[in-house]
């Protein structure tokens, strides 16, 4: 796939300028956030005016200010909090009432619920929700899980379009009677791969971590939260290093579970084998420095980092969940593992680490997985067509 290019567009009088309000819970380093900001930055400014509504304190807040008008809602937070949620709802309602957007496009579960209800009550004529993975999963209490399912069902009834990035998300939604099949629209997650295409700075992470040429580096990228299940990543590392001390592991990310992960690393005597890198923006450096990519998430939408890793040709060992199932052809461009199957994951890592020919074969297939339909340009075009089609 070639580097992204967005030529300057001329105004076309046949199109009436439409205002799009994009709502997301918090601007962290994640796929949903990158999509929201990409829409604000790259959408045709001659046809669409965007405003962004989001919570405060995200790592991408300053970046958002550069590309669009932003309304920060201090009470819009990820955690369930009835008082703050109610305050956030009324703030969003007031903003939409004043801004009068033609389209409200929500991302993430909390913003999706509050934003869609507010949009309905303010009379917005087109309501679109992007499902980057549902808030409910099999690892919650039944009460919490079915409460989220109930809310998603209600909000689906007031949505015109439900955007999914992978077929598995659509199937899960229909399984729980969230929306109808005709409401679902699949748009591949668009990624700007130019920084990977043009990367020429070498394998700096290996030098940073003092990893030798004959050693194998296994990496992952993600926030330290339960969804990412990074304790299993560390347990897999423990199994692997018992057989091969020349395999090292690195996690790029941070979060509330850092102390727990540090303790687990210490308890398993992995201080010299597992490295916590903190938040990193140099993802090309991390991936091109690595030999294998390992991801232990319990649920996902469509992970940006998986698209990046495949594009870089990394052999992948990932849990068989949601978008990973769409991306990985087991045994061809990577390996799919059942969640919590630590022994099997360790075996696959050891197999790849010990067989350079196999790594190169899988790497070759991985590189062909990501085509033009995963480009930002293609994603933006599909959104523009969707916005026009629902409002003309």
| pLDDT value, residue 11 | 47
Distances (CA, A) of 389 to 43, 163, 303, 392: 15, 14, 28, 6
Give pLDDT tens digits for 225-251: 999 999 999 999 999 999 999 999 999
pLDDT of 93 higher than 70: yes
Q: Bridge partners of 164?
A: 131, 186
Tell which CATH architecture fits domain 18-190+375-391: 3-Layer(aba) Sandwich (3.40)
Report the candidate in 97, 146, 102 with the shortest Cα–Cα distance to residue 122: 97
On average, the pLDDT of the chain sits at: 92
Query: 40 near 17, Cβ under 8 Å?
Result: no
Query: 275 near 250, Cβ under 8 Å?
Result: yes
Tell me how far apart the alpha carbons of residues 336 and 295 are, in angstroms, rounded to a whole number.
10
- Cβ neighbours of residue 105 under 8 Å, at least 6 residues apart? 20, 21, 22, 23, 39, 128, 129, 130
Alpha carbons within 13 A on the beta-carbon side of 169? 25
CB burial of 329-360 (b: ≥16 within 10 Å; e: otherwise) equals eeeebbbbbebebbeebbbbbbebbeeeeebe
Tell me how far apart the alpha carbons of residues 106 and 179 are, in angstroms, rounded to a whole number.
16
pLDDT of 6 higher than 50: no
Query: 27 near 64, Cβ under 8 Å?
Result: yes
R_g (Cα) of the chain, nearest Å: 21
**Total residue count of the chain as it appears in this document:** 392
Tokens for 105?
């496009």
Report the candidate in 163, 165, 157 with the shortest Cα–Cα distance to residue 184: 163
Tell me how far apart the alpha carbons of residues 211 and 48 are, in angstroms, rounded to a whole number.
49
Average pLDDT over residues 309-320: 97
Give pLDDT tens digits for 179-194: 999 999 999 988 888 8
What sign for the dihedral angle of Cα 1, 31, 325, 173?
A: negative
Tell which CATH architecture fits domain 194-371: 3-Layer(aba) Sandwich (3.40)
Query: 353 near 291, Cβ under 8 Å?
Result: yes
Tell me how far apart the alpha carbons of residues 69 and 301 are, in angstroms, rounded to a whole number.
27
Burial of 184 (0-12, 13-18, 19+ CB in 10 A): buried
Average pLDDT over residues 309-314: 96
Give pLDDT tens digits for 334-379: 999 999 999 999 999 999 999 999 999 999 999 999 999 999 999 9
Q: pLDDT band for position 13 (50/70/90)? A: very low
Tell me how far apart the alpha carbons of residues 72 and 64 are, in angstroms, rounded to a whole number.
11
Same fold? 18-190+375-391, 194-371: yes
Average pLDDT over residues 107-135: 95
| pLDDT value, residue 202 | 86
| pLDDT value, residue 386 | 95
pLDDT above 70: percentage of residues in the chain: 95
- The residues spanned by each domain of the chain are 18-190+375-391, 194-371
pLDDT of 9 higher than 70: no
Give pLDDT tens digits for 210-223: 999 999 999 999 98
Average pLDDT over residues 42-66: 92
Give pLDDT tens digits for 273-296: 999 999 998 999 999 999 999 999
pLDDT of 102 higher than 60: yes
Average pLDDT over residues 62-91: 93
pLDDT of 126 higher than 70: yes
Give the sheet arrangement for strand 274-278, strand by strand: 274-278, 247-252, 216-221, 292-295, 316-319, 334-337
| pLDDT value, residue 390 | 59
| pLDDT value, residue 139 | 87
């Amino acid at each position: 796939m070639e580097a992204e290019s967005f030529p300057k567009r001329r105004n076309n009088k046949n199109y009436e300028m439409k205002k799009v309000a994009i709502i997301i819970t918090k601007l962290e380093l994640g796929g949903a956030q990158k999509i929201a900001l990409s829409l604000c930055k790259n959408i045709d400014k001659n046809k669409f005016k965007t405003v962004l509504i989001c919570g405060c304190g995200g790592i991408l807040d300053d970046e958002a200010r550069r590309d669009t008008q932003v309304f920060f809602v201090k009470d819009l937070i990820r955690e369930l909090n009835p008082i703050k949620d109610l305050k956030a709802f009324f703030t969003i309602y007031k903003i939409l009432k004043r801004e009068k957007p033609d389209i409200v496009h929500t991302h993430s579960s909390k913003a999706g619920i509050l934003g869609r209800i507010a949009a309905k009550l303010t009379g917005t004529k087109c309501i679109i929700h992007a499902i980057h993975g549902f808030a409910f999963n099999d690892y919650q209490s039944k009460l919490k899980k079915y409460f989220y399912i109930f809310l998603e069902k209600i909000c689906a009834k007031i949505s015109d379009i439900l955007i999914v990035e992978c077929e598995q998300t659509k199937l899960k939604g229909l399984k729980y009677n969230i929306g109808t099949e005709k409401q679902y629209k699949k748009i591949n997650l668009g990624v700007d791969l130019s920084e990977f295409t043009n990367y020429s700075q070498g394998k700096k992470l290996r030098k940073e971590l003092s990893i030798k040429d004959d050693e194998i580096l296994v990496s992952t990228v993600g926030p330290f939260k339960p969804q990412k299940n990074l304790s299993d990543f560390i347990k897999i590392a423990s199994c692997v290093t018992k057989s091969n001390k020349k395999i090292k592991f690195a996690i790029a990310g941070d979060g509330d579970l850092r102390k727990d992960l540090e303790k687990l690393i210490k308890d398993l005597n992995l201080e010299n084998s597992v490295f916590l890198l903190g938040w990193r923006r140099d993802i090309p450096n991390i991936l091109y420095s690595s030999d294998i990519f390992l991801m232990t998430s319990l649920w996902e939408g469509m992970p940006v980092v998986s698209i990046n890793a495949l594009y870089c040709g990394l052999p992948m060992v990932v849990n068989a969940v949601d978008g990973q199932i769409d991306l990985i052809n087991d045994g061809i461009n990577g390996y799919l593992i059942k969640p919590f199957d630590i022994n099997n994951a360790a075996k696959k890592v050891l197999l790849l680490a010990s067989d350079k020919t196999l790594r190169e074969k899988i790497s070759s297939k991985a590189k062909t997985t990501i085509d033009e339909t995963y480009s930002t340009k293609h994603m933006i075009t599909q959104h523009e067509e969707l916005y026009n089609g629902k409002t003309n």
